[in-house]
Amino acid sequence: MVDVREWSSADAARLLRIPGQGDDKYSRGVVALRTGSNAYPGAAVLGVEAAWRAGAGYVRFVGEGRAADAVIARRPETVAAADIGRTRVGAWVIGSGTDAGDRSPDEERALRDILNGPAPVVVDAGALDLALTASAPLVVTPHAGEFARLRELLNLPPDGTGDRVVDVAETAHVLGRTVLLKGSTTLVAASDGARVLSVACAPAWLATAGAGDVLAGVIGALLAAAPDASVAEAAAAAAWLHGHAATLASGSATGAHGHPIVALDVAEALPAAIEDLLS
């Protein structure tokens, strides 16, 4: 039997950490991202932007080429380099804007090191296949197509039962990790598969390219800022915040039809969404 609970604004507010006078950039949360590629540099920009806008105190981008150049052009506050150096990382974001088929052996080794390290990891898109052998705390964030492929890798029927709650709970249980299944209602299944958090606050305008990259950055920021929070609850809080930011950006907060948005609009609306949540 799966326990399903609707995630509320009050639940999300409880997971947000308000900085105090004694905080510094490290205590506010250090997020490291190994995302994007020469083919999809925008994914790196969106994740980095979202991590900053969601309250991270320090954002590190690990990468080179077009992705690193685009990140620094958009967010010069970001520390970008080919490796992590001695930076203390509170949470990682990997996989957004990458393709497993183009992964080099060196890249795979680096990702496996991250996935077997001490810090929690947000695993998106092109890194989902590596989650099966990870030891770090993590949340995988597939959309519907990626979810079917993930289930196939786990030797589960890719089409599932037709019941999203049952399917995401089963997948989390078999994987042994938190699974966030994106959709008009986002479902977050805890790693034991016994509990599913349902997040249904996003407008339909959020169905736009790059929105998942933004969500990954928000999850990373919340995980880094609240290391004692459960991964499932941090992911659900990030999904709520992401959806509310989309509501504000699209002008649909008062029940109006609103208007089209792009993913960067959602990232830019995150500070206002946080202010709303804490007011």
Annotated binding site for (6S)-NADPHX: 43, 97, 143, 213
User: Which positions make up the binding site for AMP?
Assistant: 182-186, 212
51, two tokens: 């991590």
Query: Any idea what DSSP says for residue 135?
Result: -
Task: Yes or no: say if 2 and 192 are a contact pair by the CB < 8 Å rule.
Answer: no
What's the full length of the chain, in residues?
279
C-alpha–C-alpha distance, residues 209 and 73, integer Å: 21
> Pairing mode, if any, of strands 91-94 and 30-34?
parallel
CB atoms within 10 A of CB 278: 9
Cα–Cα distance for residue pair 64/81, rounded to 1 Å: 7
What is the C-alpha separation between 118 and 90, in angstroms, rounded?
A: 9
Residues with Cβ within 8 Å of residue 91, at least 6 apart in sequence? 29, 30, 31, 32, 119, 120, 121, 122, 219, 220, 221, 223, 224
Binding residue ranges: 43, 97, 143, 182-186, 212-213
Asked whether the beta carbons of 19 and 226 are under 8 A apart, the reply is no
Report the alpha-carbon distance of residue 180 to residue 96 in Å, rounded. 15
Residues 137, 141, 143: CA angle, nearest 5 degrees: 160
